[in-house]
Amino acid sequence: MGHTQSSSHLYMLLQYVPGGELFSYLRREVRISNDAAKFYASEIVLAFQHLHSFNIVYRDLKPENLLVTRQGHLKITDFGFAKVVDDKTWTLCGTPEYLAPELIQSKGHNKSVDWWAVGILIYEMLAGYVAVNVVVPFETWKVTSGRHATQISSFL
């Protein structure tokens, strides 16, 4: 909405989104219905399609970064990791539970990591939470961490 600076600080003025984080709602409800998850997922899918049409990769999808508007719709916040990526980028960043394998392996990544994160988000909304051990089964983690594949492997 606006930005300015003083002799020692930069200021960014953002729109106030009064409904709080989707994270708070999910933790309060524990799990949400299939229809509710579909509602939120559909808004994110459209937002990502839009960002990706400008070759912007968002890279930090999680309920903490989704704000609920006064009417109950979602807004994505915190574009700290968002980046225009025409081909691939290599910086390892994000939130552990939501990291796609190619990101962890530092193979170079792009929009693909956002779609992976959508999968994790839908899982988190329906299951009630997502823990790192849910992500473990994928080969990357198996090989590198030596931990046991758990929940999601049996689930999938």
Partner 1 sequence: MTRRRSESTRRSWLGALTSPGEPGTHSLTHLLHCAAGFEADSTAAPAALLRYFDVKAKDLIRKLLASDVSQRLGCLRNGGEDVKNHKWFGRLNWDAVYACKLPPPFVPEVRSADDTRNFDKYPDSTNKPLAPLTPEQRELFAEFDRL
Task: Choose, by CB under 8 A, the member of 1, 30, 54, 86 that binds partner 1.
Answer: 30
- Beta strand 10-13 pairing with 2-5: antiparallel
Considering the candidates 60, 78, 86, 87, report the single residue annotated as catalytic.
Answer: 60
Q: State the minimum distance, in angstroms, from the CB of residue 7 to partner 1.
A: 4
For residues 115 and 145, give the distance between their C-alpha atoms in angstroms, rounded to a whole number: 23
For residues 73 and 71, give the distance between their C-alpha atoms in angstroms, rounded to a whole number: 6
Task: Choose, by CB under 8 A, the member of 54, 62, 79, 82 that binds partner 1.
Answer: 62
Query: Binding of partner 1 at residue 116 (CB under 8 A)?
Result: yes
In this structure, which amino acid lies at residue 14?
L
Cβ proximity to partner 1: between 8 and 54 the closer is 8
- For 74, the 3-state DSSP assignment is strand
Task: Choose, by CB under 8 A, the member of 14, 78, 79, 84 that binds partner 1.
Answer: 78
Q: Which residues within the stretch 84-103 sit at the binding site for partner 1 (CB under 8 A)?
A: 88, 90-97, 99-102
CA-based nearest residue to 111, from 64, 63, 49: 49
Q: Which residues are catalytic?
A: 60
